[in-house]
Structures are given as structure tokens and as C-alpha cells.
Structure 1
Amino acid sequence: MATKAKKDDKNEKEIEILKINKWDGSAVKHALDDAVKSALLEKPNSVENFNLIDGRLFICTLAVGVAALALAWDYQYPFPQSKPVLIACVASYFVLMGVLTLYTMFREKGTFAVMSQKDGSNSKTWQASSEMKKFDDKYTLYLTVKDSKGVREASITKSCANYIDVNGVVFENLVANEVSRLYNSLNNDKKEK
């Protein structure tokens, strides 16, 4: 679980420090993902794009609508009469959950941030995804850009200990430096693997 603490420095400014349980792999991954997302949003002319999340929400809304229809139909016409509609709604719900699973596996592919960037007539779409296996300290960050030149990807794999201290404080500036390095390499058309 991540907690935010405020710390006073010499200039009396308050900065937020993200502190997590460093032994919880899921919390570590999510904290690093949040730091990457924040670093991407700081890039010039960057706007977060929610189309990927909206697709997931649309599928979930359809599933909830089907469940609500089944509930309302059963309330209006008690069980023996509502049997065919309930069967159709239950089948539709499970199909929609299958579609949602396929959508998250093949369309989202672990993407946690999508940014749009416009520089004059040139527009770019940045996607960030990450991977961290269970009981492993290696955090892999993938940064992908889509523009008029095509699709390019860069990645980096490092120990999460490079970004988190012994007390569980995430060094967002170190994460931002790695994101900037990948970002600049993709802007310069260099490919890293």
C-alpha cells in the first residue's frame, strides 16, 4: 500500500514523498507505473489519452446493462415467465466478460498510460507498459511511440531497487530520468531493446 507523506525542506515548500511497502511486488510495480505516468505527462504538449480505458469501460457498461435488464425483467415478470430472458442475459454477460478478457490481453497488453502529443502538424501517440514478474526484482518498462514514421519501441530492465530506497520511498526523479532517456532515444529514432 502506498502512502504519501509531506516533508518540509529549507525553502518551506512541501513536497510529496511516495512511500510503499517495498516487499509487496504489486505495490512496487504500481508505484513505479504511477511515477512513469507522471513523468510522461510532464513532457511538452502531452495530453493523456483515455481511449484505451474507455473501450474497457464500454464493455463493462454493456455487461452491467445486461445484468440490470435481467434484474428488471425478472422483477416485472417473475421467474417462470422470465426464464428465456434470464438465460439470454446470463449468456450475454459471460460472452461480454470473455470479450473483456480478450480486450485486456490483446488490445491493452499491460498498457497503463497513453499520451497524445502534437507539435504543429506532427502528432505522436506514446504508450507505456511494464512488466514485473512475481517474486522478481526486475522492472521492465516499454515505451512505444506511433507517428507518421511508424511504430518504434524502446525498453529498459532494471532492478526496482534502483528506484526505491530501503525505507520504501520511490525516487520519482530517477524514474523520470529513465523515462526521459527512453523518450529522447525514440524522438531521435534510435531503437533500444
Structure 2
Amino acid sequence: MSGSGTDADAQDKPVKIDKWDGTALKNALDDAAKKVMLDKYNMKEAHSLMDGRLLICTVAVGFAMFALIWDYLNPFPASRTVLIICVLSYFLLMGVLTLYTTYTENGIFLVALDKDKAGVDPDDIWTLASVLKKYDDIYTLSIIFEDGKTKKKRTVEKGHSVANYFDEEGSLCVEKFEPFVRQLKDSLNFEKKGN
């Protein structure tokens, strides 16, 4: 019984971070934006981007494990060629992973599906990405909407100082940040209804 109360308390507890840590600021705002889209608009998260990253990592670790087992069964001089191939493959895949996170993920922290209520039309896709440059206080949130039927995409992007959303102690003021996310999302909804 007490476990469920603890979970509810943890969700209601304000997010508090070191306000001088840019990564922590960005992550706290990303998590809050994600919560708004999933909880307030009742969307479902799609994990395809993360699955791609996990697939690359799994294959890389598979090469490393194969090299380890091969070297155990066939000690070094005999395993030299296999070890070279596995090590080169591992580092090649780490390069692929870097390119994937840089160009494919590109700051995206949420891909959410807006299911059709009737279940007839394809899902609309909402993609959220953010940028908070090092030594900068401007948090830029981008929302990309892809219509499930027409596959047309529309984007809205806006930036504000992180100081607008955190108090002096470093607690996230959700009541100030949530309207910002809703405003961006609703501006794309308005465009959708206008077309």
C-alpha cells in the first residue's frame, strides 16, 4: 500500500536540479515537455529511434563478445585474425552510432503517436527536439507534426531563456513551462484544422 503512495509523491515532487548544469537543465525541460505530450494529450510514445540505437549497440557488443569467446577457445596467436576483424567492426559500429545520434536523432527526445479515435486513419506523428547550446541560456523547442493521412509535415520552433522556467533554488516551474509546450503544439493543431 505504501509503495503506491510513494510513487504518487515522487511524481508530484518538483524537479530540482543544479541550475548551472546545462545538460541537467535541458534534460529536465525535455522530460517536462515529454510528460505534457504523453499525459495531457494522451499520446503513445514510439520507440523506433531508440530501437535503432540499441540495435547498433547490440551488434557492436556482439562482435566484442564473439572476440572474447573466440580468444578464450583459441588463445592469442591463433585468434589474431578474428580479433582484428572484431575490433575493427566494433570501432566501425561506434562510428556508425555517432553518425546515427548526430544526424538521425539530432536532438529528438520524443516521437509520439496520436492515435485516430475511430481507428481508421493512420496515426499522426509528433516529434519533439530541443537544443540548449553550451554556455547559452536559450532553450529551443521544436515540434514537428506529420499528418498520418497526407504525410505532410509542419514544424514550429521557439526559444526562451531557461531562467523563465526555473526558480532560484533550481526547481522546475511546470506551471510556467507547460503553457509554452501547449502553445507550440496548439499552433500546429490550428494549422491542421485550417487546411
Same fold (TM over 0.5): yes
Distance between the aligned counterparts of 1:108 and 1:28, measured in 2? 19
2:187 to 178, 185, 188: 185
Count of residues in correspondence between the two structures: 178
Name the TM-score, length of structure 1 as normaliser.
0.88
- Deviation of 1:174 after TM superposition, in Å, equals 1.9
RMSD: 1.6
Distance between the aligned counterparts of 2:161 and 2:74, measured in 1? 59
Q: Are residue 29 (structure 1) and residue 63 (structure 2) matched?
A: no
- Deviation of 1:95 after TM superposition, in Å, equals 1.1
Unmatched segments (≥5 aa) in structure 2: 1-5
The worse-fitting range, judged by mean Cα deviation, of 66-75 and 102-111 is 102-111
- Deviation of 1:122 after TM superposition, in Å, equals 4.6
Q: Report the equivalent of 2:108.
A: 111
Q: Which has the higher strand share?
A: 1
Distance between the aligned counterparts of 1:45 and 1:168, measured in 2? 28
- Deviation of 1:94 after TM superposition, in Å, equals 1.1
Q: Report the equivalent of 1:9.
A: none
Task: Report percent identity of matched pairs.
Answer: 48
The one-letter code matched in structure 2 to 1:26 is T
Distance between the aligned counterparts of 1:49 and 1:94, measured in 2? 29
Runs of 4+ in 1 over 6 A off after TM superposition: none
The one-letter code matched in structure 1 to 2:123 is S
- Deviation of 1:43 after TM superposition, in Å, equals 3.7
Q: Are residue 83 (structure 1) and residue 85 (structure 2) matched?
A: no
- Deviation of 1:22 after TM superposition, in Å, equals 0.8
Distance between the aligned counterparts of 1:142 and 1:174, measured in 2? 18
The one-letter code matched in structure 2 to 1:176 is E
- Deviation of 1:123 after TM superposition, in Å, equals 1.7
Q: Report the equivalent of 2:153.
A: 151
